[in-house]
Structure 1
Amino acid sequence: MSLALLTLALIAFYPAIYVTRRVRRIRRQQTQSRARIFDGLGISLADSHRKRVVGFFHPYCNAGGGGERVLWTAIEHIQRTEREIVCVVYSGDTDATKEAIIDKVKARFDIALVPETLAFVFLNSRYLVEDSTWPRFTLLGQSLGSMYMAWEAMSKLIPDLYIDTMGYAFTFHVVQWIGRIPIGAYVHYPTISTNMISRVRTRQRGHTNSDAISSSFLLSLGKLMYYRIFMYYYSRSLRSAAFVMCNSSWTKNHVDSILQYTDPVLDALHALPPWFLLKWISDTRTSAPREARIVYPPCDTRDVAQFPLQDREKVILSLAQFRPEKDHFAQLQAFSILLNSHTEYKDTGASPLKLVLIGGCRNADDAARVDSLRALAKELMIEDQVQFILNASYSNVLEWLSKASVGLSTMVDEHFGINVVEFMAAGVIPVTHASGGPLNDIVVPFNGEPTGKSKLPGYHATTPQTFAEALHQAFTLPPDAELAMRERARTWAVQRFSEEEFVKGWDASDWKIWMVSGLT
């Protein structure tokens, strides 16, 4: 009996022993890992002792979206102000080279990076965080996948400070366990929010709550329990960070509530075997942040603010990656309603009204989504007045921003909305969903002055019908009111959401202090 129990004990503890030995081996190999990174940058052994490494975890760094602008602006700022810091990006873009990524950053964002202090650690396990890998239990699967990616990242290089700029909070446990280093986060969108839980509780259909779930009491109850458990561990993950930045008041409100989240039932469960073995997940740092700091993303306000405000073309512009949550389908439906309700917009003249959709196309799923959008435009018989532009260059985006009249954003609970800021700075009147960052931070009253038919430098809507009505209002503003709206929108966007404001907020997070504290 004793031999059998001993055998079972060895079987149970062997994985833990094996993993512990692997972690020790990873730590021992870090001297060689850092030497390879420095050697690839042309940094001599004598100079390497003065260098410090900041690691940015951003598996989709080459996607060309608003989150990537945050990443590259932060890195460019560090390169310009901190000569002894080497920035390392953990990327899953294995099909791109360092040179190609730098060139794309310049073409897409007009950000010039210094190759001598920038290195990439390419990860082969990015497929583990793809939606297609986890058709069921997507949140759980992607979170576990991100933890494996963090293991691969730390196996290749442990930095002096780890900053997640894409939203993979579950990586913090792995990084802290292996690297024993400070961790920071820039949160664009919480992985799970109280809004998501509320939709499941009220059985409301949405992007994160399908018809099959919302129409079933039992499935809704099961998903609610799943979300409750997930929120518990997500809260513990965020508390592992030394500092947390977020991109809007909407995100901050959710993150702050998540940081304070607790569950007495799950807390008690962790005191019992075998769940106490997961205690390392629920433990938090004594220095865990009590609240997040708002650091508005850097927006392109320099070049676009020079565009003329008058003589705009009859163009409705959409700037958004072709992801499901951006809801391009609602844009096509709203445009169709607009054309059918007001026939003067139809293709009958020399310069008909056009809807131009510009966005990044990351993978096969996005490409298939674009095909579906093209099919819908044809079905609605509006394809002649709709134009799709995929993976546009920076200069091409600027060209459209300089001549468009109205900007359209239909995402529900958009965490911030860099595209909306770009609209306003360029003098494009925004029409956005009445939620998230566009509602609370961006399209807000400026100096309390009314603007035409709206008290805002733009319009809010919630359904395709109300979006169509808002678009019509924007195109029928009296000339003086239209110009006043464009001017106030530009002034607000330039003074509030510039790159200068972003770097001030970034430095106010005290990331340098935490990096130094991690070395002592």
Structure 2
Amino acid sequence: MANIFAFFVFGLSWILFAQFLSALLIVWVILRVYSHHLRSSNLVRRSTLLAELGHSHNTKRIVGFFHPYCNAGGGGERVLWTAIAAIQRTDPDVVSVVYSGDTEASKESIISKVKARFAITLDPVLLHFVFLQSRWLVEDSTWPRFTLLGQSIGSMYLAWESMTKLIPDLFIDTMGYAFTFHIVAQLGQIPIGAYVHYPTISTDMLARVKSRKQWHTNAGHISSSATLSRLKLIYYRLFMYYYVLSLRTASFVMVNSSWTKNHVDSILQYNDPLIDAIHMIPPLVGLKLFTSQNAPAAARIVYPPCDTREMSSFSLMPRQRIILSVAQFRPEKDHQAQLNAFHRLIELHPEYIQNSHNRVKLILVGGSRNDSDAKRLSELQKVAKDLGIDPYVEFVVNASYPTVLSWLSKASVGLSTMVDEHFGINIVEFMAAGVIPVAHASGGPLQDIIVPFNGERTGFHARTLDEFAGALHTVLSLPTEEELAMRWRARAWAVQRFSEEEFERGWNQSGWRTWALGSTSSR
């Protein structure tokens, strides 16, 4: 009897497994048919686009840039527009297409803003925008819970929308939406590249959840609960597993700093035996079968561009007693820590507000992208008022490029409190402008930017509130000769290492041209 039962179970298992394989085969066939349909109809869309841009022949190559917030005006957008401007100069047979969710803007207004914000001139004949209607799916406000998962699934839908409107010859994600790679690979069947500013998830994030450390990505009610922390750790391990599969789909990966490279390289080599074993069980095995395992050998560092030419012309001395912050009003930038550090500075050194000739101001220049940023900005203004420092704090929102330059030309100290800042273009801008930086002792500012030049300081690092206040006081009280020398060293290092020319050199050596000019799948 037992043998009969075992035989029955064995037979039923094989039947279920065969049904699973059949279902998987059907899904694969459907994907192939749908992909063929999209790529066939793409020939018409491609020809129509080139004709609209005034290109009478179809020999142009199309490089697609996935950047849903291309009109935001931050450091990531500078990377995007500098890359496209470089392509337009060196490869006039390439048309750049930006997949953007800025549906309220026009092509002309975006180009004008790029000119005003970054002093970058773009050729409209070699640039096209595919406007996406579903950007709300990647808004953090859309996903108050399971934000990483929700935004990643939302980005996959955006990638599908992108491919239905236009399939390029090469797809490059410049915002960090790696989960789009699966959709593009399956439907577009084209090579994929990535410029990673910051890994969506990292081993550091897993470690913080495991150690139950409260963070902006690990809320207090979770870190205080052992059960919730264990559940979140499982969630993060699963998410990391799929993020690894996503990055391995890319043909080449560029990163913006040593910190990001170390994390991305470790992610590409990441292995979770338990999660891997779980994915040997149907139907989860199907998720792995539909992903590429051809991981790039290693990420390549291409430091972001900084327009050091104009900034390096600013006079080093004298400078006004201004502490300057230049950062979008996003949670990870931790503007509240800046307010707290400034408040601590005043507590320890009240002379900075008591004497009119010695008075210090904190100026926070930043972009507000959406309602969440606007709400955060309002909360920061309330914090400044509650701390009693609002008379000495000014918020400058969505400033034009000339306005940002004006503040950089007269500030004394540049402040950045973000922990694990992946790079820090704002800090490079401080240094190029002759502003002495004070930044958190982590990430790019620690490893790549605020490093000794000719064996001497170019700025300061800090971790605690008192360390930030102490560093700010040190800069504000430097002897004139030492202050001038440090400003000069900071500028010399920034201009030498982080110019637009250096970025373009690294970008052109990344291999994008090989993949763009060698692909024929979407034509």
Equivalent residue number for residue 3 of structure 1: none
Gaps of 5+ in 1: 1-5, 450-455
SS of aligned partner of 1:176: helix
Q: Is contact 1:94-1:122 (8 Å) kept?
A: yes
Letter of the 2:413 counterpart: V
Q: Is contact 1:53-1:86 (8 Å) kept?
A: yes
**Cα 1:486–1:7, aligned 2, differ >3 Å: closer, same or farther?**
closer
Q: Deviations over 1:14-57 (max 9, x none)?
A: 8777655443321221011102211221222xxx3220000000
Q: Is contact 1:70-1:298 (8 Å) kept?
A: yes
Letter of the 1:246 counterpart: V
> Aligned partners of 2:24, 2:484: CA distance in 1, in Å?
71
> Aligned partners of 1:356, 1:519: CA distance in 2, in Å?
51
Percent identity between matched residues is: 62
Q: Name the count of aligned residue pairs.
A: 505
Q: CA deviation at 1:463?
A: 2.2
Gaps of 5+ in 2: 1-17
Q: Is contact 1:184-1:241 (8 Å) kept?
A: yes
Q: Deviations over 1:108-147 (max 9, x none)?
A: 0000000000000000111111101111111111111111
Equivalent residue number for residue 225 of structure 2: 216
Equivalent residue number for residue 130 of structure 1: 139
Q: CA deviation at 1:211?
A: 0.6
Equivalent residue number for residue 501 of structure 1: 502
Structure 2 residue 321 is the aligned partner of structure 1 residue 320:
no
Equivalent residue number for residue 124 of structure 2: 115
SS of aligned partner of 1:316: strand
Q: Is contact 1:334-1:467 (8 Å) kept?
A: yes
Q: Is contact 2:160-2:183 (8 Å) kept?
A: yes
Equivalent residues in 2 for 1:339-378 (5 A)?
A: 339-350=346-357, 352-378=359-385
Letter of the 1:519 counterpart: T
SS of aligned partner of 1:302: helix
Task: Decide which of 181, 200, 207 is 2:190's aligned counterpart.
Answer: 181
> Aligned partners of 2:283, 2:169: CA distance in 1, in Å?
34
**Cα 1:8–1:78, aligned 2, differ >3 Å: closer, same or farther?**
closer
Q: Is contact 2:61-2:517 (8 Å) kept?
A: no
Q: Is contact 1:237-1:281 (8 Å) kept?
A: no
Structure 2 residue 438 is the aligned partner of structure 1 residue 437:
no
Equivalent residue number for residue 329 of structure 1: 336
SS of aligned partner of 2:320: coil
Q: Is contact 2:67-2:98 (8 Å) kept?
A: yes
Q: Is contact 1:347-1:385 (8 Å) kept?
A: no
Structure 2 residue 296 is the aligned partner of structure 1 residue 295:
no
Equivalent residues in 2 for 1:41-120 (5 A)?
A: 41-44=53-56, 48-120=57-129
Equivalent residue number for residue 405 of structure 2: 398
Equivalent residue number for residue 25 of structure 1: 37
Structure 2 residue 154 is the aligned partner of structure 1 residue 152:
no
Q: CA deviation at 1:283?
A: 3.7
Equivalent residue number for residue 199 of structure 1: 208
SS of aligned partner of 1:196: helix
Equivalent residue number for residue 252 of structure 2: 243
Q: Deviations over 1:213-270 (max 9, x none)?
A: 1111111111111111111111111111111000000000000000001122233333
Letter of the 1:476 counterpart: S
SS of aligned partner of 1:181: coil
**Cα 1:290–1:7, aligned 2, differ >3 Å: closer, same or farther?**
closer
> Aligned partners of 1:301, 1:280: CA distance in 2, in Å?
47
SS of aligned partner of 1:330: helix
Equivalent residue number for residue 478 of structure 2: 477
Q: CA deviation at 1:281?
A: 4.3
Q: Is contact 1:315-1:353 (8 Å) kept?
A: yes
Q: Deviations over 1:68-111 (max 9, x none)?
A: 00000000000011111000000000000000000000000000
> Aligned partners of 2:356, 2:20: CA distance in 1, in Å?
81
> Aligned partners of 2:205, 2:138: CA distance in 1, in Å?
20
> Aligned partners of 1:12, 1:504: CA distance in 2, in Å?
45
Q: Is contact 2:20-2:283 (8 Å) kept?
A: no
Q: Is contact 2:31-2:186 (8 Å) kept?
A: no
Q: Is contact 1:246-1:252 (8 Å) kept?
A: yes
> Aligned partners of 2:317, 2:206: CA distance in 1, in Å?
45
Equivalent residue number for residue 465 of structure 2: 464
SS of aligned partner of 1:306: coil
SS of aligned partner of 1:432: strand
Q: CA deviation at 1:337?
A: 1.0
Using the size of structure 2 for normalisation, the TM-score is: 0.93
Q: CA deviation at 1:462?
A: 1.2
SS of aligned partner of 1:460: strand
Q: CA deviation at 1:12?
A: 9.5
Q: Is contact 2:62-2:169 (8 Å) kept?
A: yes
Q: CA deviation at 1:184?
A: 0.5
Q: Deviations over 1:159-178 (max 9, x none)?
A: 00111001011111111111
> Aligned partners of 1:300, 1:412: CA distance in 2, in Å?
24
